[in-house]
A and B are shown apart, each in its own frame.
Chain A
Amino acid sequence: MQIIESSKIKEKVYIEKLENGLTVMIVPKENTNKKYIIWGTHFGSNDNHFIVPGTNEEVTVPDGVAHYLEHKMFEQENGKNSLDVLMALGVDANAYTTNNHTAYLFETVEHFYEGLDELMDYVQHPYFTDENVEKERGIIGQEIGMYDDDPGWQLYMNALDCMYKKNAIKIDIAGTVESIAKIDKEVLYKCYNTFYNPSNMVLVVCGNFKPEEMIDEIKKRLVEKPKQGEIKVIHQIDDDEINMPYKETKMEVSKPLFLIGFKDKIDSEEKVKRHIAIEIIMNMLIGKSSDVYQNLYKEGIILAEPDLDYEFEKDYAHALIMGQTTNPEKVKEEILKEIQKQKENFDTEHFERMKKKIYGEYVTEYNNVSDIARMFLSDYFKGINSFDYIEQYSAVTEEYTKEILKELFEEKRCVMSVVGTK
């Protein structure tokens, strides 16, 4: 078993790759009663075009299939729904689908091993019938309708549309009513058999556990699955250019929502270091103590600190600034001006302050077993060990950050999505 320790925050992660290919990560937390487990497969809404291992068969599946599959995994042959079984134990269970992974999880204080029985049973035993697949269509249709009404989601999807020409990230995770109409049990089984192989999955546990014992408990519950070669997923790779600089839609909101995005290059070697630097820069540009934020706030143009995010995967990367404003154009203009200003005259004091702020945020992530486990899982699928954010923190120098500022924060990489008032 591999053990990685972070001396700064006094935490350890134990990593073991089991014989069947499953990766298990355990982060012991002695003082807490809460336990969290998350089991993820490297299969998300972007993975709609692939070659089934051991064949030459190239498969294209309807949009929204990963999410549909997630919904259907809970259904059991004995007529029970595993979500109900878990909830009945008082275990807080859930599942979610992102564009690159699907995860099944629960959190509990008591009944952990009973919960583990159920989780490992249902994830390893799909049960799809024509009837139960059909029944889900209405529910997912309603869910899609809910997203259609959600201004924040529309804002985000339009921003992706601005940045990307063909990357599958443009597709709604849940698909559309038309695309899910094409999903049947054969498609679900094909995706399940391809992507839910242990070698494509990782299981993360956080709580008061002894790592060796935990590994044994997991092994006991594993079902034998055929060994599988590499899955070739075919992704449409975008170039560096944006698709269009601006997109607007109108919805019933009190005040426009804006999202300013910067499309990043995807071949960066130092992903964590780059991520830290970008977070520092975004905070310098429009964070709470920035001139831009303070001025816009005073003028009543912006009401609350925008949300800042850097999302990246193997085939996409972008920095996002999202908020609500009376004047989206003005916000963009001020941010671009500030970028120019910082490029010419970098504010060292501000940089140091933001760096400290971000350190605090990274440490705070370790307060909660669910945050820890989810972080390790999603970072794993990006090829990152989460401790790297703490360890590489001091390597992010002013010089390095200036370089990133020049590279990413350019007008030609910048897009804006707006949800305007009706």
Chain B
Amino acid sequence: MKDEKIEIKQGIKFHKIKTNKFKTNLFAIFLNTALSRENVTKDALITALLRRGTMELKSQDLISKELENMYGAGFDCGIEKSGDYHTFKFYLEVINDDFLPEKENLSEKALKLLISIVFNPFIENGSFKEEYVKQEKSNLKQIIEGKIDNKGNYALERCIEEMYKEKPYGLFKYGYIEDVEKITAKDLYEYYLKLIQECKIDIFASGDINDNYEEIVRKDENINKLKERNIEIKKEDKKEIINQAKEIIDNMDVTQGKLVMGLDLMLDKEDIGYAAMVYNTILGVGANSKMFRNVREKESLAYTCGTNYIKRKNLLLVRAGIEIENYEKAVKLIKKEIADMKDGNFTDEDIKNAKNLIYSTIYNIEEEQDTEISYYFGQEISDLNTSVEEYKEKIEKITREDIIEVANNMQYNTIYFLRN
């Protein structure tokens, strides 16, 4: 396995990914916790707050200056849903010491800085700094309100929200306006302290990585303060049978309508995800897909149309940007393509093409540092150890029958349309 895992403490792992393809080293820290309505907004707020200062560099300004002096080291953070989990992601990318104009140990410095940003935030009077919390609350509110800015993504979010009502995955990753107000600096800090003692922690180092880095992590006093923890990844809930798909129509000032259809894959068996990936690709990924050929090209009905399969949730999302008056026609055409899949109305050529496309994304994993880290993190939280090579083998083995089996177990859940 290329991802060399070292358990620092129970529940805390250091991952070394050695590669010589890049001019940079990339470090990442991921915190993984259960997604809940109670905490979703706090999670988003914490991610934003941690970049505001450490005990050594007490303000964002000082952190920025430090990063700039490190030849523009790139810090990034964000929060993502990983199925029913919420993942806090922190990255620091720095130029490999070999390409600096003058020699220095920039990468070691970078790893220490990243650890300190996540685990040694600036604390004043036993809490996060009031001023920072206030500002980040106001910023977070603006981010939540900004949900409407990208109409395509908004439609997608709304469809997922409708599909997973009252369930963790239906939550918006940045949380809710009404919850932002209620959060105090003190509550938030208490939540943070509990979080870092209980959550799953994964630290990644990718690039020209020698054994020094493991030592840095082991000896770091912020890491030493963390306790051992029990991590158990919960299995996905069983999907409910739906007789009639929901139809949701929202109105907004748009010139182009955004159609999103959400389908559940009702099959829960090992490796079904690989067959579903091939199914998804034949149906709606790229210029050879049935959707692209028939809905976009043959009917000139949509500028954008395609499908996404979300493996962790066994969820298929169909998206199309269409003229508003073409709504019924588009739904009908898309449904026909989906029905065609059940009837096995696709060629061996389609299967081959789809597999080729998936292989190319598999090959791509090792060609980008953040993609490679994300891949191994995905394996980590699924409790799997599938190497990139095995991943490809699993796709190779998928047969026409496997794909039809997926098609026969697709259930319409929600049809969502954003129009004027």
Q: Hey, which bits of chain A sit against chain B, CB under 8 A?
A: 8-10, 31-34, 81, 83-84, 87-92, 108-111, 135, 138-139, 142-143, 145-146, 148-149, 151, 252-255, 287-289, 294, 297-298, 300, 303, 324, 353-354, 356-361, 363-364, 366-369, 422
Contact = CB atoms under 8 A, between A and B. Distances in A.
Nearest to A394: B101
A87 B286 contact: yes
Contact of A303 (B71, B143, B303): B143
Interface of B: 20-24, 60-61, 64-65, 67-74, 93-95, 99, 101, 131, 135, 138-139, 142-143, 145-149, 151, 252-256, 286-288, 293, 296-297, 300, 302-304, 321, 323, 349, 352-353, 355-360, 363-364, 366-369
Contacts of A139: 296-297, 300, 303
B321 A294 contact: no
Contacts of A84: 287-288, 293
Given A303-B142, A360-B73, A363-B99, 19 more contacts: A32-B367, A90-B355, A90-B359, A109-B367, A111-B356, A142-B256, A143-B303, A146-B303, A146-B304, A149-B256, A254-B146, A254-B148, A300-B139, A353-B69, A356-B69, A359-B72, A360-B72, A364-B24, A364-B93
B72 A142 contact: no
A368 B26 CA distance: 14
B255 A142 contact: no
B93 to A, nearest CB: 7
19 contacts: A9-B23, A9-B99, A81-B287, A83-B287, A87-B288, A88-B356, A108-B360, A109-B360, A111-B356, A146-B321, A148-B255, A255-B142, A288-B68, A294-B61, A356-B70, A356-B71, A360-B95, A369-B367, A422-B253
A363 B138 contact: no
A33 B352 CA distance: 22
B102 to A, nearest CB: 10
A367 B363 contact: no
A348 B87 CA distance: 40
Contacts of A357: 67-68, 71-72
B64 A288 contact: yes
Contact of A300 (B70, B135, B359): B135
Contacts of A361: 72
B23 A363 contact: yes
B143 to A, nearest CB: 7
Contacts of B148: 252-254
A32 B364 CA distance: 10
3 tightest A-B contacts by CB? A90-B356, A360-B72, A357-B72
A255 B138 CA distance: 13
B303 A252 contact: no
Contacts of B356: 88-91, 111
B256 A145 contact: yes
A109 B364 contact: yes
A143 B148 CA distance: 20
Contacts of A364: 23-24, 72, 74, 93, 95
Contact of A142 (B68, B69, B303): B303
Contacts of A138: 300
Contacts of B366: 33
B143 A368 contact: no
B360 A149 contact: no
A10 B22 CA distance: 12
A38 to B, nearest CB: 17
Contacts of B300: 135, 138-139
A8 B99 contact: yes
A366 B24 CA distance: 9
Contacts of B360: 90-92, 108-110
Contacts of A254: 142, 145-149
A298 B136 CA distance: 9
Contacts of A358: 72
A138 B95 CA distance: 47
A90 B355 CA distance: 8
B363 A110 contact: yes
Nearest to B352: A88
Nearest to A257: B149
A311 B23 CA distance: 26
Contacts of B321: 142, 146
Contacts of B256: 142, 145-146, 149
Nearest to A300: B138
A33 B99 contact: no
A342 to B, nearest CB: 17
Contacts of B369: 367
B363 to A, nearest CB: 4
B357 A90 contact: yes
Contact of B151 (A83, A149, A294, A366): A149
Nearest to A109: B363
Contacts of B349: 88
A369 B366 CA distance: 13
A311 to B, nearest CB: 21
Contacts of B286: 87
B101 A8 contact: yes
Contacts of A255: 142, 145-146
B64 A289 contact: yes
A354 B68 contact: yes
Contacts of B21: 31-32, 367
A108 to B, nearest CB: 6
Contact of B353 (A87, A109, A303): A87
A148 B99 CA distance: 44
Contact of B65 (A34, A109, A353, A422): A353
Contacts of A324: 146
B363 A252 contact: no
Given A139-B296, A142-B303, A353-B69, A359 B288 contact: no
Nearest to B93: A364
A412 to B, nearest CB: 31
A109 B364 CA distance: 8
B23 A367 contact: yes
A31 to B, nearest CB: 5
A359 B100 CA distance: 9
A10 B142 CA distance: 44
A62 to B, nearest CB: 20
